[in-house]
């Protein structure tokens, strides 16, 4: 079954923005975030290999794609730990607001780093391809972004 | 909600679109592991007496008031980012500004939620606070 059809509504999805999964409605068991990332990036790479015929540009695009994946995986790992700490501290009566503010400030810093890495990788991907290639690649990515947003809304 | 799926949803929410924080915290579940609806139910179950219950539930009501526009604003902010991401040569400064706007709104929401936490904490007191979050 294609990757895009396998993602369940509660998929433990760690993918993000210009990436790579579609929420299926088939009720399949949820996949791990790692599965989603693996499948999503594999699909993107395969699409790029089909669409970008020039080997030099293709290699460049794939390198930026790898950079994006690394940024996402690093931030996902950090975020999982952050959420644990946030909930623990938020629900601890003895924790004062200043401690929570410090925790959030730390998150903000890491988020900024991840954002910069993301933007750099995204721009690198965009600048590696022609307008026509970008149109085809983005069309795929946009579907995935929309599905992620739907899943996000359901999980709030 | 099952812890695994809740955590999955949270991670997804956090990562989605723009590395944001605010709207998810506004909705309650990111910060507490409970939805605002469940928090409200939990407060009712504490049997606090009319005055304290009213105070605590008023905090939740205002938390909901904070969450609703925050979620709408997040949607607008993420829409703007996605539109820019789709442009092959969107100016970098525009892209960064769009992320910054999203994050500024998120940060303002988080500040509001932290203030509401203080109010809820005062309304409940230590014992009832710990009962409310006993499963966390």
Q: Please write the tens of the pLDDT for every residue from B80-93.
A: 888 998 899 999 89
Inspect the interface and report whether the beta carbons of B16 and A17 lie closer than 8 Å. Answer: yes
| A89-142 per-position pLDDT tens digit | 999 999 999 999 999 889 888 888 888 888 899 899 999 999 999 998 988 777
pLDDT of residue B30: 72
Q: Which helix (H) or strand (E) element contains residue A6? A: helix A3-6
CA distances from A68 to A65, A73, A124, B83 (A): 5, 9, 10, 19
For B85, the closest of A17, A107, A131 (CB atoms) is: A17
pLDDT of residue B27: 60
Inspect the interface and report whether the beta carbons of A83 and B10 lie closer than 8 Å. Answer: yes
pLDDT of residue B105: 83
Smallest CA–CA separation between B14 and chain A, in Å? Answer: 7
Residues 6-35 of A with CB under 8 A from B: 10-18, 30, 33
Q: What is the ipTM of this complex?
A: 0.82
* Partner A contacted by B135 (CB < 8 A): no
pLDDT of residue B26: 60
| A32-72 per-position pLDDT tens digit | 455 556 667 788 889 999 999 999 999 999 999 899 888 87
Answer yes or no: pTM beyond 0.90: no
Instruction: Enter the DSSP assignment of B123.
Output: H
Q: Where are the beta strands (DSSP E) in chain A?
A: none
Per CB-CB distance under 8 Å, the chain A contacts of B15 are 13-16, 72, 75-76, 79
Inspect the interface and report whether the beta carbons of A90 and B117 lie closer than 8 Å. Answer: yes
* Partner A contacted by B99 (CB < 8 A): yes
Per CB-CB distance under 8 Å, the chain A contacts of B103 are 108, 111-112, 115
* Partner A contacted by B93 (CB < 8 A): no
pLDDT of residue B128: 97
The least confident of A113-117, A122-126, B31-35, B46-50 is B31-35
Tell me which of B18 and B122 has the higher pLDDT.
B122
- Using the predicted structure, report yes or no on whether residue B21 has a pLDDT greater than 50: no
| Confidence grade of residue B62 (pLDDT, cut at 50, 70, 90) | very high
* Partner B contacted by A126 (CB < 8 A): yes
| Confidence grade of residue A8 (pLDDT, cut at 50, 70, 90) | very low
pLDDT of residue A144: 62
Q: What is the mean pLDDT of residues B55-62?
A: 95
Tell me which of B57 and B71 has the higher pLDDT.
B57
- Using the predicted structure, report yes or no on whether residue B61 has a pLDDT greater than 90: yes
Where does residue A31 fall: left (phi above 0), alpha (psi -120 to 50 degrees), or beta otherwise? beta
Q: How far apart are CA A5 and CA B132, in angstroms?
A: 39
The tokens for A125 are 């991907």
Q: How far apart are CA B75 and CA A38, in angstroms?
A: 27
């Amino acid at each position: 079954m294609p990757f895009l059809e396998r993602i369940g509504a509660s998929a433990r999805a760690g993918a993000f923005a210009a990436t790579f999964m579609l929420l299926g409605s088939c009720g399949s068991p949820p996949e791990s975030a790692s599965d989603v990332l693996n499948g999503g990036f594999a699909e993107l790479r395969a699409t790029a290999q089909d669409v970008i015929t020039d080997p030099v540009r293709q290699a460049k695009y794939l390198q930026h794609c790898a950079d994006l994946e690394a940024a996402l995986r690093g931030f996902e790992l950090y975020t999982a730990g952050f959420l644990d700490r946030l909930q623990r501290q938020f629900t601890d009566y003895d924790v004062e607001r200043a401690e929570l503010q410090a925790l959030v400030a730390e998150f903000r810093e890491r988020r900024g780093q991840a954002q910069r890495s993301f933007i750099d990788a995204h721009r690198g991907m965009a600048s590696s391809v022609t307008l026509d290639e970008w149109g085809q690649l983005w069309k795929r990515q946009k579907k995935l972004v929309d599905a992620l947003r739907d899943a996000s809304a359901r999980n709030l | 909600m099952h812890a695994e799926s809740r955590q999955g949803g949270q991670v997804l929410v956090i990562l989605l679109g723009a590395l944001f924080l605010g709207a998810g915290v506004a909705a309650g579940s990111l910060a507490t592991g409970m939805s605002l609806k469940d928090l409200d139910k939990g407060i009712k179950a504490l049997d606090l007496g009319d005055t304290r219950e009213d105070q605590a539930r008023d905090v939740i009501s205002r938390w909901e008031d904070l969450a609703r526009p925050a979620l709408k604003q997040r949607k607008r902010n993420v829409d703007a980012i996605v539109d820019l991401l789709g442009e092959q040569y969107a100016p970098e400064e525009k892209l960064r500004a769009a992320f910054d706007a999203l994050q500024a709104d998120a940060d303002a929401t988080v500040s509001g939620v932290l203030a509401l936490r203080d109010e809820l904490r005062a309304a409940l007191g230590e014992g009832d606070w710990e009962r409310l979050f006993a499963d966390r």
